[in-house]
Amino acid sequence: MLYRRRQGAIYRFSLHMSGSAEVAEDVTQEVFLAILREDCGYDPERGTLSGYLFGIARKLILRGLERGRADVPLESDAEDTSPRHLAVYDDPLAGLARHEAIEALRRAVQALPRRYREVVVLCDLEEVDYADAAMALGCPIGTVRSRMHRARALLLEKLNQDRKPRVAVDTWKTMRCAI
């Protein structure tokens, strides 16, 4: 059954993007209801069913965000202007217990601006390929690729900041260079 094969991925994507289990449940249900409708508009020639389902889920989540229903604020959609290369630790998750590391990473993903969060969730967590992600996001593959690169840089930056919250990153870099 299609629902049982796909519901987990759609639910998790919705949960990551909305931050609300209630919204994720509603979105998951709506996605599969859309498939039931004869005029759902799925065209196999334009991409896989997976990309199509994620695309519907994304639209529903955005609609929910616009209505202010979901928990995650829209302000995170703004383009981030922080420095690009800030990866100062070899392993940003080193020294943390596995559970803590995963939780820290989950929080970092959750804190990403939406446009970066959605590519990380799709491509890294749900292992959707770039072509399907591009279909779901309604953008070219090149855009998915560049957002992915940027998203990972932001994740590293966030994890580094969490590891050394009391030391300003620039100060720390200067100290490191002086050593």
Partner 1 sequence: MNCHEFWDDLPQKGRDITPAQAAHLAECAACAAEWAPHRALAAGLRSLAEEWRKVEAPPRVEAGLAAAFRAHAGFTAGHSPARSWWTPVFAWAAAMAGTIALATVLMRGYQPAPAGPGRVASPRHTVQSPVEMAVLDADSDDDTSALGEGFVRLPNAPRIEPNDDYNVVRVELPGSAMIDAGIALGEDQAAETVLADVALGPDGTPRAVRLVPDGGTN
124 lines the binding site for partner 1 (CB under 8 A): yes
In the numeric block, the tokens 């967590």 are attached to 125
CA-to-CA dists, residue 40 to 49, 56, 136, 137, 153, angstroms: 12, 10, 15, 17, 37
Which of 28, 24, 18 lies closest to 110, judged by CA?
Answer: 18
User: Nearer Cβ to partner 1, position 78 or 102?
Assistant: 102
User: Nearer Cβ to partner 1, position 137 or 155?
Assistant: 155
Cα–Cα distance, 77 to 53 (Å, whole number):
22
Sole binder of partner 1 in the list 51, 55, 64, 92 (CB under 8 A): 92
Chain-centroid distance, C-alpha 153: 13
161 lines the binding site for partner 1 (CB under 8 A): no
134 lines the binding site for partner 1 (CB under 8 A): no
Sole binder of partner 1 in the list 17, 56, 65, 109 (CB under 8 A): 109
In the numeric block, the tokens 């870099």 are attached to 173
Binding site for partner 1 (CB under 8 A): 3-4, 7-8, 10-12, 15, 24-25, 28-29, 32-33, 36-37, 85, 87, 89-94, 98, 101-102, 105-106, 109, 120, 123-127, 129-130, 145, 148-149, 152, 155-156, 159
